[in-house]
Amino acid sequence: MANTAHADHAHDHHDHKPHGLKRWLYATNHKDIGTMYLVFACIMFFGGGAMALVIRAELFQPGLQFVDPSFFNSMTTMHALLMIFGGVMPAWTGLANWMVPMQVGAPDMALPRLNNFSFWLLPFAFTLLLGTLFVPGGAPAGGWTLYPPLVLQGGDSFPFTIFAIHLMGISSILGAINVVVTILNMRAPGMGLLQMPLFCWTWLITAYLLIAVMPVLAGAVTMLLTDHFFGTTFFTASGGGDPVMFQHIFWFFGHPEVYILILPAFGVVSEIIPTFSRKPLFGYESMVYATASIAFLSFIVWAHHMFTVGMPLAGQLFFMLSTMLIAIPTGVKVFNWCATMWKGSISFETPMLFALAFLFLFTIGGFSGLMLAIAPADFQYHDTYFVVAHFHYVLVPGAVFSIMAGVYYWLPKWCGRMYNERLGKAHFWLSVIGVNVLFFPQHFLGLAGMPRRIPDYSTQFADWNMVSSIGAFIFGFSQLLFVAAIWNAVRSGEKAPQRPWEGATGLDWELPTPAPYHSWETPPAANILPKPGH
């Protein structure tokens, strides 16, 4: 390792870490920044979860027991913003920070200072957002979709919300640029694109989506801001604008956004299933192409969120058909995962359990998505709990479960210690039962006619709401086990070997455990690179 001429001698001390607060504030190390992202995401997840519990407590039975309707609306809005922008997106960026350099054989992310900037913008963005809970008029209450004219009625919280979104947007764009550049420019010598693990591939495509759509969201909320404060009429008909125009621009961002939340999950699952099936991923290349097709299609389906706004017939037909097409590449992925397990040698450690739950429950969420895509049927489903059930199935056992799967999977590599398998399994079973009790009944509620975003409901919806709320509390409190499992592993877990999972392949597992502070200061040798199209 010493045969490289080092320009900068400070690098010679491999595990020389800066100490104290400065290590985190001034960080440039991808692992430190990744850790900060993950911890931040976890805090936001609990914050957003606490808000969800307020929602579910209020909906436990008919009548208003705990909160005022406008506070309820704020909870719904903030819950979604925290979970999506504070929970899932930063969690993925955190995982990318940890894993991408390790998987492509790079010493660090391509632009380390920018990396830290991306991270530190987030706590400030969420300070602005959460600060609105204390301003006159309360937190934003127009739904996370921010539709005008309602959102323009927001009180003093309005500019805070807009600027918080701007900051989150800058953070995401800079973070995404870093990932793209790391993947395209920092791969180990001799590593072709089709040799990369799928997590890198899905993140590459996700990053592209992020750079393409976050600026559009920024533009949309900027127009809201000028409509509110500077007399523009983008979204006001009397001046020649149209409130529906906002919805088009928002969903041009919003639909790719949901794939931003799920594509990295596809990547993680594509790593875990082969490992615990002890068999290479089936159809590697078609997985890559399917991901790219999903990303492409995601740009031309946005108005399936708007079938009831009064679009011309041709528009409705187009968006219905294009949306249905997404089932095809997604199906390819699901079938490839099945084929990977087929004739494998499967064991059921916690990461695999979460990946399997993902496989089942995401597919269910996909089916309800397909049902929503059928425009005439969506006239019945739209803005009911059927939609809420759909997107929580793809988001919670979809995105969130795979984040947890990824954390359990790579934790030994990160901290050099194993989590407690019994604790992990307890967390898994409580979660998987809780999440289904929580969200499955919401399908029934929606079909029976319960609208979303209401704090109180007619008595015929009482029974399933109560079940759903019970599920929420089971699911919510079992997440404390997740924290416990990680805490326990980091403090007192068993020492982990270099390759704790028998079937694990890839450069990340070639590094010693725990991974050295600077990952691949010396590029990996050609003979340990993954084979092309493995």
Tell me which long-range contacts 50-58 makes (C-beta under 8 A, separation of at least 24).
Answer: 51/75, 51/78, 51/79, 51/82, 52/79, 52/83, 52/472, 52/476, 53/472, 53/473, 53/476, 55/79, 56/438, 56/468, 56/469, 56/472, 56/473, 57/469, 58/455, 58/456
Name the helix (H) or strand (E) containing 485: helix 462-492
Q: Which of 208, 259, 381, 501 is catalytic?
A: 259
Does 468 qualify as catalytic in the annotation? no
Q: Which is nearer to ligand HEA, 30 or 305 (CB)?
A: 305
Complete DSSP assignment for 400-413: IHHHHHHHHHHHHH
Instruction: Round to whole Å and give the CA distance between 380 and 174.
Output: 40
For residue 306, give Cα distances in angstroms to 84, 320, 368.
20, 11, 17
Q: How far is the CB of 254 from ligand HEA (least distance, A)?
A: 7
Q: Which of 32, 35, 92, 108 is catalytic?
A: 108
Q: Which is nearer to ligand HEA, 203 or 509 (CB)?
A: 203
Tokens for 237?
């008909």
Range 251-270, binding Cu ion (CB under 5 A): 255
Q: How far is the CB of 45 from Cu ion (least distance, A)?
A: 22
Q: Which of 255, 413, 417, 518 is catalytic?
A: 255
Does 259 qualify as catalytic in the annotation? yes
Residues 340-369: x where in contact with ligand HEA by CB under 6 A, - otherwise, as a string = -----------------------x--xx-x
Q: Which of 187, 228, 279, 333 is catalytic?
A: 333
Q: How far is the CB of 49 from another protein (least distance, A)?
A: 21
Q: Which is nearer to ligand HEA, 111 or 371 (CB)?
A: 371
Residue type, 278: R
Instruction: Round to whole Å and give the CA distance between 55 and 444.
Output: 18
Q: Which is nearer to Cu ion, 259 or 409 (CB)?
A: 259
Q: Which is nearer to ligand HEA, 416 or 455 (CB)?
A: 455
Question: By CB under 6 A, is residue 261 in contact with ligand HEA?
Answer: yes
Range 426-485, binding another protein (CB under 8 A): 444, 447-449, 451-464, 466-467, 470
Whole-number CA gyration radius for the chain: 23
The separation between CA 421 and the C-alpha centre of its own chain, rounded to angstroms, equals 25
Instruction: Round to whole Å and give the CA distance between 393 and 389.
Output: 6
Q: Which residues are catalytic?
A: 79, 108, 144, 171-172, 255, 257, 259, 270, 304-305, 330, 333, 452
Query: By the criterion CB under 6 A, which residues form the site for ligand HEA?
Result: 46, 49-50, 52-53, 55-56, 76-77, 79-80, 83-84, 87-88, 143-145, 258, 261-262, 304-305, 323, 326-327, 330-331, 334, 363, 366-367, 369-370, 372-373, 378, 381-382, 387-388, 390-392, 394-396, 398-400, 438, 452-453, 472, 475-477, 479-480
